Amino acid sequence: MTIKQMKYLSKIVACKSMTQAAKELFISQPSLSKAIKDLEEELGIKIFIRSSQGLTLSAQGQTLLSHAQIILEQTALIESHFSTNEGACPSWSISTQHYAFVIEAFIKAVNTYKQDDFCYHLREQETLHIIDDVKKGHSEIGVIYLSQFNSPYLLKILKENNLTFNQLLETGLHVFVASDHPLASKKSVNFAQLQDYHFLAFEQGEHNSFYLCEEIIGDIEHKKTIYVTDRATLFDLVVGLKGYTICSGILNTDPEDSDIVAIKLETSEHMVIGWISRNDHILSDFSMRYLDVLQKILNQKQA
């Protein structure tokens, strides 16, 4: 199997047509068809299923494509890095659920890791997109949480995609509410006390499964639910609507100076926050530095 064959495969899938792919690759259609046929014979699989609707990937073809895309992305990074004598500026990416402490660690890591030039990406994503980013090499690490409720489902997905979960912190559940919320002075609350307030949660797009939610929901029903896509909006609604969200309880600011307070949630459920990476990937120096900073921040905030 060659890099060229992988590029051909990726282009055919993108174009959804052998004819159009051949045009964009500037080769003849017979040559492209032969290259794919040779690849199928070499691997002993059927990559495409041909029907009146056109070409569709077989199950084995989908698996092959996912591996090929990782290789092509890594190849592109290598080519970019060595495209000049000096090499391109260092590149690094992280995909994460909506955690303020992840941002705090990023800021500290960047400020202490002195480089003249770099290109970093920090992506707050839906849970399945985080997993996909790390799987495909778009991000070197991802930050998600596991619970008794979602861990069987998510660990299965991680294993199927050759990813590993590494624990950073285990904590009980809390709710974030506004500092002037009627329940703000309580040391703990239960779901019955929260039922008349707006429950705020992050959208999970078309994959809106309970197992992918950032807020541990399980089989709990909420009378009033509002979904948002970014952290700033969620906190605005926590304050403006006297709503609440379920979280780790880790605040990024001094509680005395914050409009938000964390209250312990009366439940036996807990959450384990951690980072994911590919099993076959060696972490970069910046990832190691970032994870060290992140772990120290979490240790300090939990103390």
- For 242-291, the pLDDT digits (tens) are 999 999 988 776 555 578 999 999 998 899 999 999 998 889 989 999 99
Sign of CA dihedral 237, 259, 269, 233: positive
Residues 254 and 212 in one domain: yes
The amino acid occupying position 24 is: E
H helix intervals, the chain: 3-15, 18-25, 29-43, 59-81, 100-112, 127-136, 151-160, 191-194, 231-240, 285-302
pLDDT at 85: 46
Residues 50 and 30 in one domain: yes
Structure confidence by residue, pLDDT tens digits, 118-176: 889 999 999 999 999 999 889 999 999 999 989 999 999 999 999 999 999 999 999 99
Contact 171, 302 (CB under 8 A): yes
- Token representation of residue 210: 């309970």
pLDDT, averaged across the chain: 87
- We report the CATH number of the domain holding residue 38 as 1.10.10.10
How far apart CA 112 and CA 106 sit, in angstroms, is 10
What is the pTM assigned to this prediction? 0.70
Domain boundary among 81, 100, 132: 81
Structure confidence by residue, pLDDT tens digits, 214-229: 888 655 677 889 999 8
Give the residue numbers spanning the domain of 17: 3-81
Residues 233 and 113 in one domain: yes
- Token representation of residue 52: 């009146």
3-state secondary structure of 122: strand
- We report the CATH number of the domain holding residue 168 as 3.40.190.290
Contact 129, 93 (CB under 8 A): no
pLDDT at 57: 86
Long-range (24+ apart) CB contacts under 8 A made by 149-154 are: 149/210, 149/211, 149/216, 149/217, 149/218, 149/269, 150/210, 150/211, 150/212, 150/213, 150/216, 151/272, 153/209, 153/211, 154/127, 154/211, 154/212
pLDDT at 82: 59
pLDDT at 236: 94
